[in-house]
Structure 1
Amino acid sequence: MAPVLILLAFLLPLGAHAEEIIGGHEVTPHSRPYMAFVRSLKEDGNRSRCGGFLVQDNFVLTAAHCWGSSLCSSMRVTLGAHNIKAHEQSQQIIRVAKAIPHPKYNSENKINDIMLLKLERKAKRSKAVKLLKFPRANARVRPGKKCHVPGWGVTSFNATKASDLLQEAELNIQVDYQCQKHFLHYSETTQICVGDPRKVQLAFKGDSGGPLVCDNRAYGVCARVNKDTTLDVVTKISSFLPWIRRNMKLP
């Protein structure tokens, strides 16, 4: 599944066992025109939902663990959406022709958790459908930098229903050591550690595959979360640019 964005404010005195949970804010409709809503059929027959983002007219980037089954015909991408339950005129629903997970993706530890989806036809660009740029080669974001993660995931830890409206959370880039302490197999070469213990905003269930956006560029793909530490791990896109370009056949 994929994540929407969770803001926790700890307003009770020390020792209390409750907290106030506030959902991530709804974005202005169609202000994140690169966003893709990815639906797929899992091997057990259940449907899964993830985020993704348009990187070429016929390619969406998402997380490898969002691949529901070996049948690409079961995967569909919705572009130009704000309310995924509404029949918005801006929406384009396109089947996936080919799913291309990274060949070294490890489903157990979520290493190399990145996947390209080749669409059956090109998307038509509009005000509601646009590409999201990649970072430059070897680009990195420094700890303390504020970035954003949009998605249609759940808005609280206990929620059983994900959001129909596109939400967004603001996340701070953390030093790698913070995630190395809490995530087995964390790799500073291929992953980025994000979160904010003071606010506790998280990309959670239903947001996987969505982008980590810094300065209007996609620096990461949402991969893992640890709600006990309010930290997210995202796949570092700059480490995979040669693989991405090769599979999209770009120079």
Structure 2
Amino acid sequence: MLCFSECLEYQEKLVYPCEKSFSLSLNDAMERKVKCHNNADDLIIGGQNASRNEFPHMALLGYGEEPDVQWLCGGTLISENFILTAGHCISSRDVNLTYVYLGALARSEVTDPSKQYRIKKIHKHPEFAPPVRYNDIALVELERKVPLDEWLKPACLHMGDETADDRVWATGWGLTEYKASSGANILQKVVLNKFSTFECILQYPPHRLMSQGFDVNSQMCYGDRSQSKDTCQGDSGGPLQIKHKKINCMWLIIGVTSFGKACGFIGEPGIYTKVSHYIPWIESVVWP
């Protein structure tokens, strides 16, 4: 599919770029360098601080105008021009979504105007109808292109092929304790476990905001059965990800943080929008 070929192209340009060699005797000789700064082989509530450049696709979404911008949602850089996020992040705020900030590890680092991008257009999924929880996905188009490099690198998108997604990473700047007054300063990462379809259906039966209950086609649920690990307020729109098994040094986004019950309760998973279900729509907007 198109997004797979785009992912390969990003890897070639950003992870294994051709650069002038100083070790070869030939003039103008080129060789491929390796520029990989994450190691997912070796969360959020129950999580830990991420390392700098570990998640080079992470985006902060800002609401309002300077000097009072509020950074309230997360997102994922998926191309030079687009951020993937949750639908409710662009529809349920008192102030308009106006900025995206890239390349920050900590909220306190949001100070460089060159890394702050105004928004050109917001693309809601055509079937997203808040406050209903289905189709909770959106694309944010930036006014200017992102200068991609080894530190600002798009993530790949899961296309539905079989993959090991029983344990995944969630990332965000949201609350790190239930009922905390503010989100984390430093980007948090947490390993979450996949709950079975049967468990998800039991946890999320039909109700006012989900008339059909948990949707096995477009939603997933992740959490922890024995520890307090979860995403929480402020993590919305951020990615659920694994290391790509076919394309080295690239993250693979399988879900978008959508909603949950109370944060961090053992055995109560959160709901994540299933990215593979929306690949045709994403490609039609990002790579028409």
Q: Same fold (TM over 0.5)?
A: yes
Aligned to 1:240: 278
Query: 2:231 matched to 1:203?
Result: yes
3-state SS, counterpart of residue 113 of structure 1: coil
Query: 2:258 matched to 1:223?
Result: yes
Query: 2:150 matched to 1:122?
Result: no
3-state SS, counterpart of residue 189 of structure 1: coil
Give the partner amino acid of 1:177: F
RMSD over aligned CA atoms reads 2.6
2:52 pairs with one of 6, 16, 29: 29
Distance (Å, rounded) in 2 between the aligned partners of 1:71 and 1:120:
22
Give the partner amino acid of 1:224: F
Aligned to 1:56: 79
> Could you list the per-position Cα deviations for residues 51-71 of structure 1 after superposition, in whole angstroms to 9, with x for gaps in the alignment?
000001000000000015799
Query: 2:103 matched to 1:80?
Result: yes
Task: Map 1:1-251 to 2 at 5 A.
Answer: 5-7=44-46, 24-41=47-64, 47=70, 49-68=72-91, 74-87=97-110, 92-136=115-159, 138-141=160-163, 145-183=166-204, 184=206, 185-215=213-243, 216-227=251-262, 228=265, 229-250=267-288
Distance (Å, rounded) in 2 between the aligned partners of 1:94 and 1:46:
13
Q: How many residue pairs were aligned?
A: 227
- CA contact 2:60–2:71 (8 Å) conserved in 1: no
Higher strand share: 1
Residues 1:225 and 1:140: Cα distance change in structure 2 (over 3 Å): farther
Residues 1:195 and 1:124: Cα distance change in structure 2 (over 3 Å): same
The TM-score with structure 1 as length reference comes to 0.82
CA positional deviation for 1:181: 1.3
Residues 1:189 and 1:90: Cα distance change in structure 2 (over 3 Å): same
The unaligned stretches of length 5 or more in structure 1 are 8-23
> Could you list the per-position Cα deviations for residues 160-216 of structure 1 after superposition, in whole angstroms to 9, with x for gaps in the alignment?
111111001110111112121122321010011111121231010100001110233
Distance (Å, rounded) in 2 between the aligned partners of 1:162 and 1:91:
24
The TM-score with structure 2 as length reference comes to 0.72
Distance (Å, rounded) in 1 between the aligned partners of 2:78 and 2:283:
11
CA positional deviation for 1:115: 0.1
Q: Tell me which stretches of 4 or more aligned residues in structure 1 moved more than 4 Å.
A: 45-48, 68-74, 87-91, 140-143
**Worse-superposed segment, 200-209 or 67-76:** 67-76
Distance (Å, rounded) in 2 between the aligned partners of 1:32 and 1:181:
33
**Worse-superposed segment, 221-230 or 122-131:** 221-230
- Which structure has the larger Rg over C-alpha atoms? 2
Larger RCO: Structure 1 or Structure 2 (Cα < 8 Å, ≥ 6 residues apart)? 1
- CA contact 2:61–2:97 (8 Å) conserved in 1: no
Residues 1:190 and 1:140: Cα distance change in structure 2 (over 3 Å): farther
